[in-house]
A and B are shown apart, each in its own frame.
Chain A
Amino acid sequence: DVKVTQSSRYLVKRTGEKVFLECVQDMDHENMFWYRQDPGLGLRLIYFSYDVKMKEKGDIPEGYSVSREKKERFSLILESASTNQTSMYLCASRIQGLNEKLFFGSGTQLSVL
């Protein structure tokens, strides 16, 4: 089965710190996504990448950037963490194509103090 691994399950950072969230998938998927999950708001797309070195903004990209230098790895960067970025972050991947199944990572619960 597809494995999507997020580097940290829990992370605590200070306001203003630069934060890196890493995601690695092992099934050679072209598409990768970063979502933010907050109670009552569902899943909101931050950024996605349809292939290596490609990236597109999602619905809430402000305060975030991403990097996809290798096909298996998609990194989310918080340039200067703020308290309103405290949230659960979910990475997902899927093969290229219309309406394909998403495979999610276990999530990173980030707390910004």
Chain B
Amino acid sequence: GENVEQHPSTLSVQEGDSAVIKCTYSDSASNYFPWYKQELGKRPQLIIDIRSNVGEKKDQRIAVTLNKTAKHFSLHITETQPEDSAVYFCAASKRNSNYQLIWGAGTKLIIKP
């Protein structure tokens, strides 16, 4: 069935370094790819999203890239800071449904001081 695979499950980086989280999706009809950040004890919040008609989108230190041919998309965080520590979820829109997303399992990002 349709699924989204997310890697790695845990990522530890030194403060100031870059972090990359990767997701692969199975449904070639998916056309929307959001990323949500969930800090410890808090609700998930949308941080960036990309639609299938663009290959890259940036917002300050965060960027997302999309490779439709390979069916994968990635979240890039540059100059990481302690407040970037969180669980990050990727998702992809589900075929024939404007209501549902298929979610990755999440990546716990740890920023080491």
**Which residues of A approach B to under 8 Å, CB–CB?**
4, 31, 33, 40-45, 48, 50, 56, 58, 90, 97-99, 101-102, 104-107
Mask, B83-113, CB within 8 Å of A = 1, is 0000001010100001111011110000000
Min CB distance A86 to B, Å, is: 18
With a CB–CB cut-off of 8 A, which chain B residues contact A102? 34, 36, 44, 46, 101
* Residues B89 and A45 in contact, CB atoms below 8 Å apart: no
Min CB distance A20 to B, Å, is: 20
A96 to B49, CA, bound (A): 17
* Residues A58 and B105 in contact, CB atoms below 8 Å apart: no
The A/B interface has a contact count, at CB < 8 Å, of 53
Min CB distance B49 to A, Å, is: 8
Q: Which of B24-83 contact A (CB under 8 A)?
A: 31-32, 34, 36, 42-46, 49, 51
* Residues A98 and B98 in contact, CB atoms below 8 Å apart: yes
* Residues B89 and A98 in contact, CB atoms below 8 Å apart: no
* Residues B105 and A106 in contact, CB atoms below 8 Å apart: no
Besides A43-B44, A56-B99, 18 other A-B contacts (C-beta < 8 A): A40-B9, A40-B105, A42-B103, A42-B104, A43-B103, A45-B100, A48-B99, A99-B34, A99-B51, A101-B46, A101-B49, A102-B34, A102-B36, A102-B46, A102-B101, A104-B44, A104-B45, A106-B43
